[in-house]
Structure formats: structure tokens, C-alpha cells
Structure 1
Amino acid sequence: MTSLAVLLSSCCSLHWCHLNTQSLETKFRLYTDRTEESCLILFNQLETLDQCSFNASLPLVMIVHGWSVDGMLEGWIWKMAAALKSQHKQINVIIADWLTLAHQHYPIAVQNTRYIGQEIADFLEWLEESIQFSRSNVHLIGYSLGAHVSGFAGSYISGTNKLGRITGLDPAGPLFEGMSPTDRLSPDDANFVDAIHTFTKQHMGLSVGIKQPVAHFDFYPNGGTFQPGCHIMHMYNHIAQYGITGIAQTVKCAHERSVHLFIDSLLHQDKQSTAYWCNDISTFDRGMCLSCRKNRCNTLGYNIREQRLPKSRRLFLKTRAHMPFKVYHYQFKIHFINEIQEKQVDPTFTISLTGTKQDAKNLPITLVEGINGNKTYSFLITLDTDIGELIMIKFRWEGTAVWENIWDTVQTIIPWTKGTRRPGLIVKTIRVKAGETQQKMTFCSQSIDNIHLHPAQEKTFVRCEDPRTQKTTHQNTIHLVKHLKNTELFYTN
């Protein structure tokens, strides 16, 4: 880094530096629809706007990369630029290349984020003054350190009007976590700010991505701490795909997942991921937060519903380990009665779902607590595919030899006459809420005379009227009959 750059970087950290130089450290590369090609727009040189075919009547999306280890523009940058242009041809896509100041020791790169933020602000002001390009048509997408660069750009731009939108993709955590809003990305930096947190797992008190909310809507896929498919056990898969660089891919997998979730939202318009407002991931894992009332849910990524809120809203969702990442969220509420009152039961269940489009079989259910007495338990189930409207549930208690021994022991302790049924679990109803459709359904045991469940047994539940709402189920019955026609179950007496 030049001594001038060090000086400017230091002065910007004190909030009083404003750049008036003709040349900038940041290179503004207009994406040209060709793989890894761009056209350089030079600050204060209007002819380069014409040479690069910058269209002042179209919105501008600017991609801002993060800290650089090797001094090279990473491959995801070109993938995102291509995805933006493929889905939204009527936009300008600029890559803000600040590699000269990002390819430094991390603390120095952190210090340089203010300087680059000032340069981006100056560049956008120049567009506004020279070609009347409105800052409200600007969307900054910043990854890691680039998220905070984008925040500084939004706060440094002069005047009362703000940038249109800033998206922070796993904003960097070290030296930013716990800082005041003026020292990091914050909701005040644009008309609308959203952030995706994917690697907030702490190690020695630090996390790669920032954990605290920094936007109007903060998304925490899979809780935000870590991501499926990124465990060290997947390093061999990454090595097979990327060669020896697969080791680095494993290290940055969860951090960069934020980028690929955003790209996914561009490439798969028919599979937009929905996230839900919740206090924490443990509550979400119980399926307690699948409500879209009063803006409690939103779409992750490019197509988010933009709404300014007085306070940051934390949203959670589950995803798959690879693209397309969307899953379908369901809350299941099952009311159990444990007939062995003095003994807690810790069974393992599986559930199979029949839908109007597809089926999902043998999904494992884990209850966070044992079954005692008379109680309703809530849990979350996610599906990779759209099964359509749910019309039938098969609920199985995965019995083992151990369980059979327990029940045999109970039978010797608690005498009953021959022909009397043995005690078990009573499962009367299963209530389901589909997060993506917001539909609520109630299922009752198909066999009204036998609602008891024992180890290694499976019970079938069909749509029924919810006594609390008295909803009709005529249409659901038609769906079920169509599905079961020509099956063994349909002809069983």
C-alpha cells in the first residue's frame, strides 16, 4: 500500500476525510455480459461511461467484495454479476474492485473499509451530478468486509437522500461485532437494508460473520451459526470438486454460503426461500414461528419485500446443503397422553406424508423432551420438495427390542385381565401448519376405535374437522379418495 493510501485510510477512520482526487484506489468495472470481462469506468471521466455503455436510465447494482487472501477477484463475483444480468437485463452491474486495499493484513483491510466507502460515495455523487443518476436507484451488495464498505458508502454520501438499498452478505464479525451503528453496516445507511448471516459460530470469542442484527431484516439460515454441507467431513467432496483449493473451500464454505443463497434467489425464481420472524433458533426448531401475519415473514435474497421497520427484525429459515436451497416448512403439533403416568417415555418416531403432488416417507422426529402425562408437543419438519396439499399422515413409533422389554416388564408389574389392552401412548389428533402456504390442517386417527400407539406400530391419520373451527373437509376427502384409489388401503375393510 502506498504511503498516501495509508494516510488517507487513517484520516477516513477519523470521519473527516473526503476524497477529491481524480483517480481512485477502487476500480469500477461495468459487467459486460461476458464471462469474467468488464469495462473500466474512470472517476470524473464522462467519456468512459459512454465507452462502457452505462445506461443512466437503468438501476445500478454494485457488487462489493470482501477481504482478499490472494489478491484476486473471486469466482462468485462473476457468477453473481451473470445471475443479475440474466434475470434482470435492464440494470447496470458494476463490480467495485478494491483489491489493492483488501489484500492486506485483516486489521489494515478493516481500516481501509472507510476509505473505500468514501470512494464509492464519491463515485455515486459524481454520477448524480454529471448525468443526474438518482442514488435511490442504487443497490449495493457487499460480502463480508464489503458489507461494511457498503454501509460506510451509504453513510458518507452527502445530502439528506439515501441510497436505495444495501444488502450485507454475512457481514464481517471481527472488529465490527458490538460496535456502534456508525462503525459498521446499519439500517440507517440506506432506504432499505437487508443482511444474510451464515457463519456466526464463535471460536475463541470471535466469529467470521457478525452475529448482531445490522439491517431492517436480518436472515439467519439454519440459525446462522453454520451451514449444512460445510462440515469438515465434506472436505473430501470439496477437494474432488476444486482440487487442493478444496481445503480453502471448506474453510470459507459457510461464510460464502450467504453469497450463493443470494445468487439462488436470482436463478430460481420459482423457488424463493421464505424466512420467519422468531426470537431464536431453538423456538424456530419447534415450529413455533411460521406466521406471516403483520410482516412476520419475508423472502430471502434479491426479491425481498422492502419495508423499513423501526427495529431490526431477525428471521429464521432452514435450507438444503446445495442449490436450489429452498425447503418447505411445517409445524406439527401432536397431543400425546402417556398412560404410564409414573414413567417418562423417550421414543423415536418417523412420519410419512401423503400430498396431492408427492409423498415424503420416513421422516425422523426428535422430541427435545420426553413424553409425560397429557401434553401437546410442537416440532418443525422441512421437506426438500413441494408435496402439494397434505392429505394423509402415517405416524410410526420406531420400536426396538429394548422397548418391547420395557412393555413386557410393565405388563408383569401392572396386572390386567386377559384381553385388556396394554398401556401405551394415546395420539388423538395431529395439527399441521404449512409455513409457505399458511394453511392450517387437523388430522384424526383413521381408526376411531383404536387410538393407542405402541412400539413398532404405525397409525394412519386423515384430514378431519377441527372442533375449534368446524371447517369442512369435503374437498380433502375427495383428494384422499383419488390418492388411495387402486391401493390396498382403499380396499381394506
Structure 2
Amino acid sequence: MKSLQLLSFLLLSCIITPANTHGGKKKEALGSQSQHTRAKKDQQNSETKFRLYTDKTEESCQIFWNQLETLDKCGFNASLPLVMIVHGWSVDGILESWIWKMAAALKSQHKQMNVIIADWLTSAHQHYPIAVQNTRYIGQEIADFLEWLEESIQFSRSNAHLIGYSLGAHVSGFAGSYISGTNKIGRITGLDPAGPLFEGMSPTDRLSPDDANFVDAIHTFTKQHMGLSVGIKQPVAHFDFYPNGGTFQPGCHIMHVYNHIAQYGITGITQTVKCAHERSVHLFIDSLLHNDKQSTAYWCNDINTFEKGMCLSCRKNRCNTLGYNIREERLPKSRRLFLKTRAHMPFKVYHYQFKIHFINEIQGKQIDPTFTISLTGSKEDAKNLPITVVEGINGNKTYSFLITLDTDIGDLIMIKLKWEATAVWENIWDTVQTIIPWTKGTRRPGLIVKTIRVKAGETQQKMTFCSQSINNLHLHPAQEKTFVRCEDRFQRQNSK
């Protein structure tokens, strides 16, 4: 039944309709900030349980608002930073396993911190539109809790970092906007902030950059169904990360359901359904567990441009680190960053831009070849990586490709470029050359490839590779050419 409920969430139609019938407009369904603030101040009992993580699996110590003795009992240290994990909408009314994994990862890497789990299951285990309305109340309670810490034990809100998943991201945003005074919460991280009833809303009705001194967000499931998506697509932070474009994630296709069943049992069906949405959580945990494999993302206008490798620049803060170790920088406008990842942890890949200048010697004849590229590095090799020229090769033009590697091959030493083709393709190519007269000598026409220019995203190193055979620059079907490092004649040109 859990999987059916989650599937209904993905389909969204049965969830959204009740909200609109009650509120008319989406904004009315959420309610106003002042209405929720007044209502919350009238309540005496907090619906949120603040659980201090105790370094033991799925164990915590509850801190009660306005009861100072519980701070001492649980061992809260006002001199240490606070990270508060805020879960999202609940299907079954229990805290999900990822919460404890994240708490353990935070403490294992940064023992000198307080980790609190904001348990708002009572309000989250409702029909989705009701849970959405409750996000404001819970945000107010978290704001009240932080104000109490500040007033009673002089804990500075600037030392607080809220990590909110799905609806919890917007809860965190409301907490930041409701907290009194001019000083803001230190940081808010939104992990695939929920989309339904928040997409397209004003900054006051969702997570926004104004809610903390620094706000970052990771978008992993913005693929639309009937015009709506599980995760919000629009930027909501100072830095918004879109792994693999943000629409869907590798390893989360329904075809992987059998793998998930083998790993999780029958609950593997549920894991498949929520895989892409929850990937944001595991990307963040990954940034805590693998300090030596931090994922870099790059500022780009859109995913199509990024997938051509044209945005691998770190000049003027154009790149940043995804996850806990992000470089915190307030920007006047949200910045969208893209990156590729693997299907499993550690998620890091190494990004390369390959710029290859092709000359098609058959004038007026466009060809659509498929190439593979093999790389020799100082540490490892990578073989038979496919690259495809989407728009075809015609005339004299430079084409840009994005290549990603799962491993660090070290310094790139040599490149082998092969034109993949069958015997049939070779015969067609020879026939074309027979029909079209070739008068420039006896050599049969092909593609001329003089140089390959490479930029490594992670190191920002730029390299130029020249054909090993300077007397024969032609590439034909089923043929492979070798390119070696040479003097960079383009060094003085600015590369994107």
C-alpha cells in the first residue's frame, strides 16, 4: 500500500485537487504569514519534537521547549554549532531511515556539533494539502525554539543550520522568515524542496534566499507529470544545484526495481518510486562521508549547454561544491549550477570538455558519425567512451562535447579517437566518394582532425593534443587516430 500511496503522490492529481477546492487560489491554500503567526502564538503545546541525536543508531533525547533542564539532560552544548534535520511529508507516520544516516554522518565527520531532528510527524502524516498548510505552523515552532535557545542560553541563531527535505525545506524557510529580529539563521539547505503548491509562488510562500544568511538547494526530481513535479524546479536559494539536469537521476528508472527489491526486499518498490526525490538526501550525505570526493558543479544557463561541456569554468566563482562543504557566498541573484553524478555513492564524477575541430572534405554533404574516445592518464586509462555529434558534421567547424569519468585518471597524456563504423558504413562511404568527384590528389577524402582541445573541470587545466601522425590528418570510417600533448596554440584565447 505504501508504494501505491507514493505513486499517487507522483501522479499528484488526487493530491492537488482538494487544496484548490478549499482555497480557490494556491496562495490562499497556503494562507498568509500573519494569519499563521498569530495562530501559532496562541498555541501552548508544541507539535514539533526536538530530538538531540545521541550518536547511537535511531536514538535521541528530547528537548522540551521552555524546559532548561532538558538541555542539560540531553547534553546540548551552546558553544557548538547546531544542525537541525527537518523531514518532509510522511506516508507511514514514522521517521525514515535516511534521517538517522544523515545524523550519524554529521556527527562522524564533525563531532563538535549539536544535531537535532525536528520531528513533526503528527502534522506531516496528513493528506498532502493539509501537511502543506502545517508547514507554516512548524516553521513558527522552529523559530520559537531557536529564539528560546538564544534568550535562555545565548545560543546564536547564526550558528544554526537547518537541513530540510521536501516539505521540510519549506518548513525551514518559514522558520527563517518567522524568526524575530534583524539577525537571520546561519544557513538553510533545501533537499529537493517540494513542488506541488509551492512552484511559482512568491518568495514569502516558499523557501527563498532571504530566509537565512546563506541558502543552498539540491534539485533532483523536477520531471513533470501533468504540468507538476515532485520537486520544485525554480531556483529558491543563493546556489541551486541541478544534478544530471535535476529532472531525474541515474539508477532510479523503473527498470531498476528488481535491483531495489534485492537490496531492500518488498520495500524496494517504494525505494524505486521515491529514488530520484530522495537522491538529494544521499548526495548531501555523500558530501559528508567522502571528503576526498567532493562533487563540483558549474554555473550554466541550461542543461543542454552544460551537456556540450561549455560551462566548466570556475572563474569569478562560477563553480561550487555540492553539499555540506559548499563555499558560502551571498549573491544578489540565484545561481543555477549543473553537474553529472554516478548512480550510486560515491557520486562524484570528473568533468571534461573536448573541443574537436572537424573539416568535412566532401562539400555540401553532412555526415553523422559516431565516435569513441580512449584516454591514457598518468594514473588510469579510460577506454571506448562514446561521443555523438548531435547536429552532424558539415564543412569546417569546432564541436564541443562533455565527457565524464567515474575515476581520477590523473594527468591526461594521450587520446585515441576512433570513427566507429561497420563494413556496410565503409562501403557507403566509398560509394559516396565515387559519386562525388575528388580532384585534390589521390588521397581519398575523409574528416580532417588536426587538434583536440581539452579542459578538465575539476582541475581547470587546459590542454591541446595534436595528431601523432603529422603527415596524415585524415580520419576515415572504422579508423582510429592517436593524439598526443603538444604546444597549446590557443593558450592566449579565453576558453569558456
In the TM superposition, what whole-angstrom CA distance separates every residue of 1:441-488 from its partner, at most 9, and x where no partner exists? 00000000010000000000000012xxxxxxxxxxxxxxxxxxxxx9
Verify the 8 A CA contact 2:419 2:475 in the aligned structure 1: yes
CA shift for structure 1 position 177: 0.1
Stretch deviating more after TM superposition (418-427 or 282-291)? 418-427
CA 1:491–1:107 in structure 2 vs 1: closer, same or farther (change >3 Å)? closer
CA shift for structure 1 position 343: 1.1
Verify the 8 A CA contact 1:427 1:452 in the aligned structure 2: yes
Query: 1:44 & 1:492 partners in 2: Cα distance?
Result: 58
CA 1:416–1:378 in structure 2 vs 1: closer, same or farther (change >3 Å)? closer
Verify the 8 A CA contact 1:9 1:115 in the aligned structure 2: no
> Could you say which residue in structure 2 is the equivalent of 1:34?
56
Verify the 8 A CA contact 1:334 1:376 in the aligned structure 2: yes
> Could you say which residue in structure 2 is the equivalent of 1:477?
none
CA shift for structure 1 position 411: 3.6
Query: 2:221 & 2:69 partners in 1: Cα distance?
Result: 42
Task: Give the secondary structure class of the aligned counterpart of 1:163.
Answer: coil
CA shift for structure 1 position 366: 1.5
> Could you say which residue in structure 2 is the equivalent of 1:136?
158
Verify the 8 A CA contact 1:213 1:314 in the aligned structure 2: yes
Stretch deviating more after TM superposition (428-437 or 237-246)? 237-246
Stretch deviating more after TM superposition (178-187 or 417-426)? 417-426
CA shift for structure 1 position 404: 1.0
CA shift for structure 1 position 369: 0.8
CA 1:164–1:490 in structure 2 vs 1: closer, same or farther (change >3 Å)? closer
Verify the 8 A CA contact 1:22 1:44 in the aligned structure 2: no
Unaligned ranges ≥5, structure 1: 12-19, 467-487
In the TM superposition, what whole-angstrom CA distance separates every residue of 1:294-330 from its partner, at most 9, and x where no partner exists? 1100000000000000000000000000000000000
Query: 1:91 & 1:417 partners in 2: Cα distance?
Result: 75
Decide which of 376, 392, 413 is 2:398's aligned counterpart.
Answer: 376
Task: Give the secondary structure class of the aligned counterpart of 1:387.
Answer: coil
Query: 2:93 & 2:407 partners in 1: Cα distance?
Result: 40
Verify the 8 A CA contact 1:22 1:43 in the aligned structure 2: no
CA shift for structure 1 position 2: 23
CA 1:342–1:254 in structure 2 vs 1: closer, same or farther (change >3 Å)? same
CA shift for structure 1 position 207: 0.1
Task: Give the secondary structure class of the aligned counterpart of 2:79.
Answer: coil
CA shift for structure 1 position 333: 0.2
CA 1:156–1:452 in structure 2 vs 1: closer, same or farther (change >3 Å)? same
CA 1:461–1:131 in structure 2 vs 1: closer, same or farther (change >3 Å)? same
> Could you say which residue in structure 2 is the equivalent of 1:218?
240
Query: 1:293 & 1:75 partners in 2: Cα distance?
Result: 39
CA shift for structure 1 position 341: 1.1
Verify the 8 A CA contact 2:10 2:230 in the aligned structure 1: no
CA shift for structure 1 position 414: 3.8
Task: Give the secondary structure class of the aligned counterpart of 2:492.
Answer: helix
CA shift for structure 1 position 412: 2.5
Verify the 8 A CA contact 2:221 2:231 in the aligned structure 1: yes
CA 1:400–1:208 in structure 2 vs 1: closer, same or farther (change >3 Å)? same
In the TM superposition, what whole-angstrom CA distance separates every residue of 1:151-205 from its partner, at most 9, and x where no partner exists? 0000000000000000000000000000000000000000000000000000001
Query: 1:295 & 1:489 partners in 2: Cα distance?
Result: 21
In the TM superposition, what whole-angstrom CA distance separates every residue of 1:204-231 from its partner, at most 9, and x where no partner exists? 0110000000000000000000000000
- The percent of aligned pairs where both chains have the same amino acid is 90
CA 1:4–1:399 in structure 2 vs 1: closer, same or farther (change >3 Å)? closer
Query: 2:6 & 2:363 partners in 1: Cα distance?
Result: 77
Verify the 8 A CA contact 1:23 1:42 in the aligned structure 2: no
Verify the 8 A CA contact 1:199 1:227 in the aligned structure 2: yes
Verify the 8 A CA contact 2:7 2:273 in the aligned structure 1: no
CA shift for structure 1 position 10: 23
CA shift for structure 1 position 243: 1.1
CA shift for structure 1 position 405: 1.8
Task: Give the secondary structure class of the aligned counterpart of 2:228.
Answer: coil
Root-mean-square deviation (Å): 5.6
CA 1:3–1:325 in structure 2 vs 1: closer, same or farther (change >3 Å)? closer
Verify the 8 A CA contact 2:309 2:354 in the aligned structure 1: yes
> Could you say which residue in structure 2 is the equivalent of 1:446?
468
Verify the 8 A CA contact 1:9 1:112 in the aligned structure 2: no
> Could you say which residue in structure 2 is the equivalent of 1:53?
75
> Could you say which residue in structure 2 is the equivalent of 1:423?
445
Query: 2:342 & 2:204 partners in 1: Cα distance?
Result: 35
Task: Give the secondary structure class of the aligned counterpart of 2:12.
Answer: helix
CA 1:9–1:443 in structure 2 vs 1: closer, same or farther (change >3 Å)? closer
CA shift for structure 1 position 114: 0.0
Whether 1:9 and 2:12 are equivalent positions in the alignment is yes
In the TM superposition, what whole-angstrom CA distance separates every residue of 1:335-354 from its partner, at most 9, and x where no partner exists? 00001112111001000001
Verify the 8 A CA contact 1:227 1:257 in the aligned structure 2: yes
CA shift for structure 1 position 5: 26
Verify the 8 A CA contact 1:23 1:43 in the aligned structure 2: no
CA 1:414–1:93 in structure 2 vs 1: closer, same or farther (change >3 Å)? same
Query: 1:110 & 1:442 partners in 2: Cα distance?
Result: 54
Whether 1:356 and 2:406 are equivalent positions in the alignment is no
Decide which of 216, 220, 224 is 1:194's aligned counterpart.
Answer: 216
CA 1:410–1:150 in structure 2 vs 1: closer, same or farther (change >3 Å)? same
In the TM superposition, what whole-angstrom CA distance separates every residue of 1:245-288 from its partner, at most 9, and x where no partner exists? 11111110000000000000000000000000000000000000
Query: 2:475 & 2:8 partners in 1: Cα distance?
Result: 72
CA 1:392–1:492 in structure 2 vs 1: closer, same or farther (change >3 Å)? farther
Verify the 8 A CA contact 1:66 1:143 in the aligned structure 2: yes
Verify the 8 A CA contact 1:64 1:140 in the aligned structure 2: yes
TM-score in terms of structure 2 length:
0.89
In the TM superposition, what whole-angstrom CA distance separates every residue of 1:386-444 from its partner, at most 9, and x where no partner exists? 00010100000001123212222124324569981111000010000000000000000
Q: Number of aligned pairs?
A: 464
CA 1:490–1:353 in structure 2 vs 1: closer, same or farther (change >3 Å)? farther
Unaligned ranges ≥5, structure 2: 15-41
CA 1:416–1:170 in structure 2 vs 1: closer, same or farther (change >3 Å)? closer
Query: 1:4 & 1:333 partners in 2: Cα distance?
Result: 43
Verify the 8 A CA contact 1:444 1:462 in the aligned structure 2: yes
Verify the 8 A CA contact 1:330 1:381 in the aligned structure 2: yes
Verify the 8 A CA contact 1:397 1:454 in the aligned structure 2: yes
Query: 1:62 & 1:418 partners in 2: Cα distance?
Result: 72
